[in-house]
Amino acid sequence: MSPADAPPVLPSRITPPLKALPEGACDAHAHVFGPFDTFPLAQSRTRTPPEAAPHAHQAMLDALGFTRAVIVQGSAHGVDNRAVAAAVARAPERLRGVGVIDEAVTDGDLAALAAAGFRGMRFTEFTIEGGSRKPTSGFEALRTVASRLADHGLHAQIFTEIDTLHGEGADLAGLGLPLVIDHMGKAFATPIDISAAPAQALLGLVREGQAWVKLTVIRGSAAYPDYEDLRPWHDALVEANPERLLWGTDWPLLSLGDKTPDPGRLIDLFDRWTGNDSGLRQKVFVDNPAALYRFSD
């Protein structure tokens, strides 16, 4: 039995949400890594994740009740998107991919990725601890390839801090691509001042339909397990435009140690914060990702 076909081993804390997800629900943000003997990690990576195989990812989806999912290329694999492509190929009607590219990408490469179920490319740019972290593929690369992404029906997924996005947002919005903002626009920033210009600028992009935001709370809050410091920002995004919101587990929930949440409880948290609004649930978990990731194509 090959590692890819071995019985899945799930983290101990993955249990269904208290309220079953609707048919067509999509986990819009998760990762796979490896198998490393087939898909080795990039030499220039900043960290080494554990293997997170496609069969384990699909078992997680089944445990939570997700019909669909989006697998996002992790930085540890660099611009080698084969692990994500292989995972999507296991269940092409159920899965979509978001890759990572650089300026060297060809039109043939983009056409092949789009045909393989990729719907966007991820661009990362932020600073941590006062120093610059070299992005796998940053805003300069995005500007270089933007018109070709549009030609192939691919959007731009942005992983950055809200202050950085404030300085670049209007320019990026003018590239003519759908913009998808990771982790509620926070990256690893401190709690957001909603009244400040960066937050208001992002809310404006969402309100006007120029940007989508992924409601993944765990990377923007240190207040495990209820993340109450992020509640006002979550509420503001929901109020701004519920038709531009997505939801993701961020499986396999790397680098969280004893503060690793049960993703089923994160779904419950969404329900609690939104008053168990079935209409909103349908939009965020089903209708919005169906439109953005084109599951009917």
The set of catalytic residues is 250
The 10s digit of each residue's pLDDT in 95-125 is 999 999 999 999 999 999 999 999 999 999 8
Q: What is residue 203's predicted lDDT score, i.e. its pLDDT?
A: 96
Class of domain 24-293: alpha beta
Q: What is residue 129's predicted lDDT score, i.e. its pLDDT?
A: 54
* HEC profile of 158-217: EECCHHHHHHHHHHHHCCCCCEEEHHHHCCCCCCCCCCCHHHHHHHHHHHCCCEEEEECH
Question: What does the block give as tokens for 219?
Answer: 């990377």
Domain boundaries, the chain: 24-293
The 10s digit of each residue's pLDDT in 10-30 is 455 899 999 999 999 999 999
Using a 10 angstrom Cβ sphere, with 0-12 exposed, 13-18 middle and 19 or more buried, the burial of residue 202 is buried
pTM of the model: 0.93
pLDDT category at 255 given cuts 50, 70, 90 is: confident
Q: What is residue 8's predicted lDDT score, i.e. its pLDDT?
A: 47
pLDDT category at 220 given cuts 50, 70, 90 is: confident
Q: What is residue 12's predicted lDDT score, i.e. its pLDDT?
A: 58
How many secondary structure helices (H) and strands (E) does the chain include?
10, 10
Distance, in Å, from the CA atom of 279 to the CA atom of 238, rounded to the nearest integer, reads 12
The 10s digit of each residue's pLDDT in 44-101 is 887 889 999 999 999 999 999 999 999 999 989 999 999 999 999 999 999 999 999 9
Q: Is the dihedral of CA 213, 214, 215, 221 positive or negative?
A: negative
